[in-house]
Amino acid sequence: MQIAGTWRPTPLSEREVEVLRCVARGAANKEVAIRLQHIEETVKVHMKHILEKLAATDRTHAVTIALSRGIIEL
């Protein structure tokens, strides 16, 4: 969100962090859905939000950003 020339990243929700942790461990959307008891479409929506919030180009980039910012650990 940008207000008066300052930009602050939107934090990830707890569920988005959980999804990203699974992705960091190599899980595909279907596997993430099973682990978190969601449907695959919900995981896809979470990933879309994660990519937007982190300004990431893909899943790998999102994981790299999250690791460097201390959002997740391996």
Instruction: Give, in words, the CATH class of 11-68.
Output: mainly alpha
Per-residue model confidence as pLDDT tens for the chain (74 residues): 445 556 567 799 999 999 999 999 999 999 999 999 999 999 999 999 999 999 999 999 999 999 999 999 98
CA dist list (Å): 72 to 19, 21, 29, 44, 67: 10, 6, 18, 19, 5
Full-model pTM: 0.86
The domain ranges of the chain are 11-68
Residue 4, pLDDT score: 55
